[in-house]
Chain A
């Protein structure tokens, strides 16, 4: 446990930092480090608001282990073919929704800007993260992260995590 009895303020600080690091690792293309922000039996989902609000399963990305996250990154590096691009995450404040023991539930708005090699930057994906963050270890880790995206048209393809 990071703190014996963390205050709400401290919890928000920890979970905000986790999200900031999450965005930084993706935006700086340090994708190999990105799965390390999740517990080993994590769930990571990227799903349209259209499906999420109908309680439908079909997700763009659905991983239920850290191994699957690693596989996504290896596939991106070695197998998949896609336009060269970079992301820039713009995160809103992380709001503490609830805490139960060492598990914090939070919500954070995000926008992902994409820049391709022609130099144009577009809003690639915007939505909200619904997270469950495990605070029982030495550092906070995502137990579950659901990116629910409003952007109902995926531009060309989606290869990088949101």
Chain B
């Protein structure tokens, strides 16, 4: 940050030709990272924190993060879901040190301050002192010293939380398109199948771009092409909410599919290539949705991807770890009423997705090769123009419009200029 005049210039208006330019410093500079924590993750947004199905019973809790801030998701005795900051109101220790569990209340191990599942302080050891000595001051008010309680919103069993008291209601933040597609997948009770955790050595926003980018799908991910698996779902759409925060990428299987083939091989067909899958059962699936959609990547600003890829269903939560890394938590799920065959299908198709996913593992590498190439870069920018370079919907997949939408929102919340 040496040349303020240059850096303060809005890069989106300095383009040579039509397109969005994003300065690479937003992926490497700690100043942006700090501002994102304040303006995005603790600002006027809702962050995904859990599936309701992860905390089904009273007393269940899950610890996770919003941005880099540790939070706890709990289910109270009355059935309500609460989200609190995982930091003791006393001297700041983590209250909850496990990934998940069940407890009647939350207790800090340091000095055993105890909180109910909504985060209200209910116990302070030696509050009145011992034998007339010590103790908290007379004006100590338990009500003023609870865990920080966040606003909670739930749509289709997806739990979101916000630090902001002024943020628009969750449904308005998501918009009708996103709500519709959350409810499409979450249309009946789900069953959690497990988590996969991936550590990517790159800035979290590179993954936000990646999941709004239909352009790369058939170019980076070569599994289908290599094995001569023709995908009838290569046509699709790229849509956004009215604010262009969120991105829906989806594709539909061709309507002339033979029903028996569909039963056997999902939406895949083979054509002659050098390589054949020895075991085609990997692609055996079932049509689960009447609309014929076989692929949905719903990227919800700022930290969630809800996905359906064939018969795999999952949420992916993005957890930044400094400006140069993030953790990606995949929580796979099926439906509570899945029969044995459907359970077997989902188990096998999990091979396709996640950190070891045959059709998706490249995304981690894609993020890292960008991060490695932009080290220390202050002036240079990317150039995002496929499909027109504006945050516009498309009824095809040769577009980067939803990436532009992400950056338009980023600019509004964080800005591209530097303060120094």
Contacts and interface: CB of A to CB of B under 8 A. Distances in A.
Contact of A152 (B192, B197, B201, B365): B197
A67 B362 CA distance: 23
A62 B195 contact: no
B199 A154 contact: yes
Given A50-B195, A67-B278, A154-B196, A62 B365 contact: no
Contacts of B343: 57
B335 interface: no
B351 interface: yes
A155 B327 CA distance: 10
A98 interface: no
Interface in A92-151: none
Which of A75, A82, A83 has most B Cβ within 10 Å? A75
B222 A59 contact: no
Contacts of B151: none
Nearest to B194: A58
B193 A56 contact: yes
Contact of B358 (A46, A54, A72): A72
B193 A57 contact: yes
A53 to B, nearest CB: 11
B278 A157 contact: no
A71 B278 contact: yes
A1 interface: no
Contacts of B277: 67, 71
A159 B361 contact: yes
B358 A68 contact: no
A59 to B, nearest CB: 6
A60 interface: yes
A56 B192 contact: yes
B140 interface: no
A78 B348 CA distance: 21
Interface in B174-205: 192-201
B233 interface: no
A61 B351 contact: yes
A7 interface: no
A75 B279 CA distance: 13
A83 to B, nearest CB: 6
A110 B198 CA distance: 20
Contacts of B327: 153
B198 A153 contact: yes
Interface in B277-313: 277-279, 281-282
B227 A157 contact: no
Given A54-B194, A67-B278, A156-B364, A75 B350 contact: no
Given A157-B365, A158-B361, A61 B193 contact: no
Given A72-B358, A74-B275, 17 more contacts: A57-B347, A58-B194, A61-B356, A64-B348, A67-B277, A67-B278, A67-B279, A71-B282, A75-B226, A81-B222, A81-B365, A83-B365, A153-B327, A154-B199, A156-B198, A156-B199, A159-B356
10 contacts: A54-B194, A60-B196, A60-B355, A65-B278, A67-B279, A71-B277, A79-B227, A154-B199, A155-B199, A157-B361
